[in-house]
Amino acid sequence: MTHLWVRAEQRPNEDRVGLTPTGAAALMQAGIKVTIEQSTVRAIPLQGYIDAGCAIASENSWPQAPSDAIIFGLKELPEDGTALPHNHIMFGHAYKGQHSGKALLDRFKAGGGTLYDLEYLVEENGRRVAAFGYWAGYAGAAVTLKTWAAQQGGGLCGPVGVYPSKDTLLDELGAELDATGADRPKAIVIGAMGRVGTGAADLCEALGVTVTKWDMAETSSGGPFPEILAHDLFLNCIFARPGTPVFVPLEALTAPRQLSAIGDVACDPDSDYNPVPVYDRATTWQAPALRVASDPVLDVMAIDNLPSMLPVESSQDYGAQLLPSLLTLDDLQAGVWGRAAASFATHTKD
């Protein structure tokens, strides 16, 4: 019997899970055994999994799981250097030259396990079967609006945290915007036709923020793009890759502009193709905004795990997208799993 073992997340500020109780019940009905680790942080309560009939294991006990269990988590494992004999489903961040990624792949090679990287679970046409993009855009737009609201009072955006629901976030943010006494800002979203951009635009529109929506057609000229500087907020929802134009160049820091807050939801400051080269490091939940200019003010929001701010909605959405693929776990050589295994093999060749 195929055995899926859902581990507790160990990364700080990570309350999401990739399988809901409803999904777990569907897997068990299909003949797949499901074990759920206890967790002190998971946003979806354990009782739902108990009611669904899942086996329950102690928190962080996955290293002792049966050898044939497939370990399923979202974010990184502890970097303790131990060999990894199990098959793992997770975001490995290991195929793009990251230093920590090489160490992770070495651990798999040492233990004989396989990484089925969630980023590389793709259909035959290369499209990912599941992504957190919508909620990254939604939360990223929210923190960028918080950044703008703080500016109206002469301050810098303070710490952010987890919200029990999007409605709680909307209520809090709406009150913050109202308290500024200013009209709602104008925003421009680049990548508006994608999952990330759709989430960003939806958050803005829910709060009465006028949104200009751009995608590939509007940026095909390669720039410059003075229209971006004429908005209060710019939300970058396009991941950096060769050929991506620069949207906000360094010269914009001292140029006349309306723009005062950038939400770089794609958050790729280390890339050679970074389309927002006015900052050089990601921001954090404790310090969400980085001030890159003061006359006039310009702050950048670039948090790299934004969907974790709304762990219930993002878990439910992602889990629903991924479930059809999990239902095919009994054949790891075919379909999305076979393609993910091939990617792993390519990146672990000597």
Residues tagged active-site: 75, 93
**Which pair of structure tokens corresponds to residue 241?**
């890759």
Q: What is the DSSP string of 165-206?
A: -HHHHHHHHHHHHHHT-SPPPEEEEESTTSHHHHHHHHHHHH
CA atoms within 13 A on the CB side of 6: 26
In three-state secondary structure terms, 28 is: helix
* 306 within 8 A of 2, measured Cβ to Cβ: no
Handedness of CA 114, 86, 332, 59 (dihedral sign): negative
Q: What share of the chain is helix, strand, coil (3-state, %, to 5)?
A: 35, 15, 50
Q: Can you say how many angstroms the Cα of residue 246 is from the centroid of all Cα atoms in its chain? A: 22
Q: Which residues are within 8 A (CB) of 317 and not within 5 positions of it... i.e. 6 or more apart?
A: 132, 134, 135
Hey, which bits of 58-166 come out as E strands? 70-72, 87-90, 115-117
DSSP run (H or E) holding 55? strand 55-57
* 85 within 8 A of 67, measured Cβ to Cβ: yes
